[in-house]
């Protein structure tokens, strides 16, 4: 006869497995419904989608709200807009230290640099149905992992005492193929980045936690601010997770797309980087100190998906005030 205590282990495991299966099912269902409705278009690879006009209308509507919120908050303080391509020099990528923390999410660009002989070898492999990627070599460029990364190299040197505020928006790549439509390999982030004095950087992050929650509430999304950590890779990464949580560097605004099946999906991310980028990119304040930085990133696809999951896939039936705010 077993005691309740010994039964608790397997029962709890079973419950955990059940909810994991239910979560997988919920993600697959959501993906299936988005594809059937034509809002997302399959490319045949998990996490890479085409987007319909309606999906883009949602993204555009959200983007206007984000843009306006940025202008209202920072317009008078000289917020400037900068746009970068989704590809950045490997030298800049190096300085972000991304390869140390997230090698598994990284994307590098390769190209063919050989001559005729090497090309023939590539074609021979291709004709034989073998992989031909091995004939390519580094193009010296990387895919952008976070929209703010290309910014920092442009700020090298001394910046004004009041700091620099930048609005950046662009595609990011992270190699994490998944059924969950909220985990895309290529997605857009709209960020407001502050680089300057330590206290001002923290204030920037803290301001956007509250303002971000307000923006989401205005479009009918029930979000919560939660302390979070990045998915640092490997054994060394565990220490980085602890530091990030202990020092309260990252706060995510999460929405429960899948109800109680998980802890929610982060749709906005508010980050303090301390002096990390200031040091690696040689950005200094007039007092000779390393600049600190902070950014808020609005995940455009995830916000669109949270809206679709909350208000339904037919945007014509969304609540009037939400449609108004999004300009539908």
Q: Does 148 bind Zn ion (CB under 5 A)?
A: yes
Burial grade of 321 (CB within 10 A; 0-12, 13-18, 19 or more): exposed
> Taking contact as CB under 5 A, which single stretch among the options 71-79, 115-123, 187-195, 226-234 is the one that binds Zn ion?
187-195
- How many amino acids of this chain bind Zn ion (CB under 5 A)? 4
Nearer to Zn ion, 152 or 258 (CB): 152
> Taking contact as CB under 5 A, which single stretch among the options 91-99, 133-141, 150-158, 293-301 is the one that binds Zn ion?
293-301
Q: Does 165 bind Zn ion (CB under 5 A)?
A: no
Angle CA 54–56–58, to nearest 5: 75
Nearer to Zn ion, 180 or 191 (CB): 191
Yes or no: say if 297 and 147 are a contact pair by the CB < 8 Å rule: yes
Nearer to Zn ion, 34 or 159 (CB): 159
Closest alpha carbon to 255 in 14, 30, 105 = 30
Q: Does 155 bind Zn ion (CB under 5 A)?
A: no
Residue window 189-208: x/- pattern of binding to Zn ion, with contact defined by CB under 5 A: --x-----------------
> Taking contact as CB under 5 A, which single stretch among the options 15-23, 50-58, 245-253, 295-303 is the one that binds Zn ion?
295-303
Give Cβ neighbours of residue 168 (< 8 Å, ≥ 6 apart). 81, 82, 83, 84, 147, 148, 150, 151, 190, 191, 193
Yes or no: say if 62 and 169 are a contact pair by the CB < 8 Å rule: no
Residue 127 is classified by DSSP as H
Residue window 107-146: x/- pattern of binding to Zn ion, with contact defined by CB under 5 A: ---------------------------------------x
Nearer to Zn ion, 39 or 215 (CB): 215
Rounded Cα distance between 293 and 284, Å, is 11
Q: Contacts with Zn ion in 297-326 (CB under 5 A)?
A: none
Nearer to Zn ion, 63 or 191 (CB): 191
- Total count of residues recorded for the chain: 328
CB 168 → Zn ion: shortest distance, Å? Answer: 8
Q: Does 295 bind Zn ion (CB under 5 A)?
A: yes
Rounded Cα distance between 294 and 274, Å, is 7
> Taking contact as CB under 5 A, which single stretch among the options 7-15, 90-98, 157-165, 294-302 is the one that binds Zn ion?
294-302
| Chain centroid to CA 105 | 11
**Backbone torsions φ then ψ of 180, nearest 5 degrees:** -55, 115
CB 208 → Zn ion: shortest distance, Å? Answer: 11
| Residues forming the site for Zn ion (CB under 5 A) | 146, 148, 191, 295
């Amino acid at each position: 006869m077993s005691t309740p205590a010994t039964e608790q282990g397997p029962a709890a495991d079973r419950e955990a497995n059940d909810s994991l299966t239910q979560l997988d099912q919920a993600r697959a269902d959501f993906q299936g419904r988005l594809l059937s409705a034509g809002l997302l278009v399959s490319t045949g690879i998990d996490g890479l989608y085409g987007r319909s006009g309606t999906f883009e209308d949602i993204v555009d509507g959200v983007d206007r709200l984000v843009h306006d919120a940025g202008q209202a908050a920072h317009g008078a303080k000289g917020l400037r807009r900068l746009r970068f391509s989704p590809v950045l020099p490997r030298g800049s990528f190096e300085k972000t230290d991304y390869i140390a923390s997230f090698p598994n999410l990284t994307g590098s660009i390769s190209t063919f640099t050989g001559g005729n002989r090497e090309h023939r070898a590539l074609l021979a492999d291709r004709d034989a149905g073998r992989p031909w990627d091995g004939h390519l070599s580094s193009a010296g460029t990387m895919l952008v992992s976070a929209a703010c990364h290309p910014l920092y190299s442009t700020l090298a040197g001394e910046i004004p005492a009041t700091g620099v505020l930048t609005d950046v928006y662009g595609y990011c790549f992270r190699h994490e193929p998944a059924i969950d439509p909220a985990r895309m390999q290529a997605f857009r982030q709209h960020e407001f980045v502050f680089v300057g004095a330590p206290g001002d950087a923290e204030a920037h992050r803290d301001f956007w936690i509250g303002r971000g929650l307000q923006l989401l509430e205005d479009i009918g999304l029930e979000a919560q601010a939660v302390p979070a950590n990045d998915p640092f890779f490997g054994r060394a990464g565990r220490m980085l997770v602890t530091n990030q949580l202990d020092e309260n560097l990252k706060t995510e605004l999460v929405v429960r797309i899948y109800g109680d099946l998980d802890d929610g999906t982060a749709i906005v991310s508010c980050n303090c980087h301390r002096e990390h980028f200031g040091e690696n990119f040689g950005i200094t304040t007039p007092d000779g100190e390393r600049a600190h930085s902070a950014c808020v990133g609005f995940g455009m696809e995830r916000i669109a998906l949270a809206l679709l999951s909350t208000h339904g896939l037919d945007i014509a039936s969304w609540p009037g005030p939400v449609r108004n705010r999004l300009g539908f």
